[in-house]
Structure formats: C-alpha cells, structure tokens
C-alpha cells in the first residue's frame, strides 16, 4: 500500500483508472498463472482429454483444469452470479481503498481495513452466521493494536521511538506530467 500511495502521489491518475489498471494487470497475471498450472502434470484434476471439459479418454493429471472451471461457471447461473458479485465487490473495495490512500495515506487505509474486519464480523454475528467467542475479541484487539503500533499511531513506552524518516524527493521527469504511467 505504501508503494501504491507513492505511485498515486507521483502521477495524476484518477482512483477509478488506477483500479482499472490494477484489474488489467491482475487479469494478465492470473491468466498466465492458470496457463502454467494447467500444464503442471500433477494434481487431482484431469486435463486435456476428450469429453466435456477434458476429463475423458486421453486425459492427464493436472494441477488445475481451467477449461472445466470455465465450463462450470458458464453452465451454472448461480455460480456465474456469485462470480460477478465478487468482481463488483472487490472493484468497489479497491476503488474505496485507493481513494482513501490518495486522499489521506496508506496508514489510514490500513486502519480502516481493520475496522472493516470488525464490521464484517459484527454483521456475521447479527445474522447468526457465527457464534460469539470471547477469544475473537482478544484476537481483534491484538490485530488492531499491532496495526496501530506498526503505523506509529500508537506509541508504547517500552518500545524505542523510531528515528524520523526524511522524505526522499523523486527526481523530476517528464513522466510526472502524464495522466497515466501506462500509456
């Protein structure tokens, strides 16, 4: 997130455009990764054979059968709707996160991520998806206090104060005037 903050401060790029580029790069990396694991000759799936989605005669072991997954998503409306809902949810989450990072800082975003965890936990408790366990409160308090100490929002007397870091000035270049560094 710190690299993302530095990137957003260095270039004049809208948060929605940054999310779009993150999505493009994520999709490219995911497709590359899926092509690789389809070729790995080990695993529980069967790939490359005849039949629906490559599991029939002549099939071989593979780590992940990408084409079978695509076929299952296309053949099941509920699964497809869940996938689209997940994509929309993650896109909105990333847009809000990048907007917070751009407007405030990566530190604020990290603290808000911890609060988001608490909100999701509260909703799942209210809906009865989970039962309350007192140890979860201890775990969340540990998570939140660790985040606050790491981001230097909470100082403990037993820990030495870090030396003040100086902001390194980025060299001026023509790329700082670009609306996007990708084009």
pLDDT digits (tens, 9 = 90+) for 77-129: 999 999 999 999 988 888 888 888 888 887 788 778 878 888 888 899 999 99
- Give the pTM: 0.61
Q: Identify the residue with better confidence: 179 or 139.
A: 139
| pLDDT for the residue 54 | 60
Q: Identify the residue with better confidence: 51 or 162.
A: 162
Contact between 18 and 112 under an 8 Å Cβ cutoff? The reply is: no
| pLDDT for the residue 183 | 47
| pLDDT for the residue 99 | 86
Helix axes 77-103, 106-126, angle to 10 degrees: 140
Residue for token pair 């775990």: 139
Contact between 62 and 45 under an 8 Å Cβ cutoff? The reply is: yes
| pLDDT for the residue 177 | 45
């Amino acid at each position: 997130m710190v690299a993302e903050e530095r990137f957003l401060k260095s270039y004049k790029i809208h948060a929605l455009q940054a999310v779009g580029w993150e999505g493009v790069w994520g999709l490219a990396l995911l497709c590359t990764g899926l092509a690789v694991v389809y070729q790995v000759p080990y695993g529980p799936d069967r790939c490359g054979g005849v039949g629906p989605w490559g599991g029939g005669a002549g099939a071989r072991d593979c780590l992940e059968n990408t084409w079978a997954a695509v076929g299952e998503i296309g053949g099941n409306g509920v699964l497809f709707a869940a996938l689209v809902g997940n994509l929309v949810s993650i896109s909105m989450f990333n847009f809000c996160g990048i907007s917070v990072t751009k407007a405030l800082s990566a530190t604020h975003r990290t603290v808000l991520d911890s609060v988001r965890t608490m909100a999701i936990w509260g909703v799942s408790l209210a809906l009865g998806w989970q039962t309350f366990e007192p140890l979860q409160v201890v775990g969340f308090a540990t998570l939140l206090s660790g985040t606050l100490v790491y981001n230097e929002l909470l100082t403990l007397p037993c820990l030495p104060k870090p030396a003040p870091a100086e902001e390194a000035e980025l060299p001026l270049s023509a790329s700082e005037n670009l609306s996007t560094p990708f084009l």
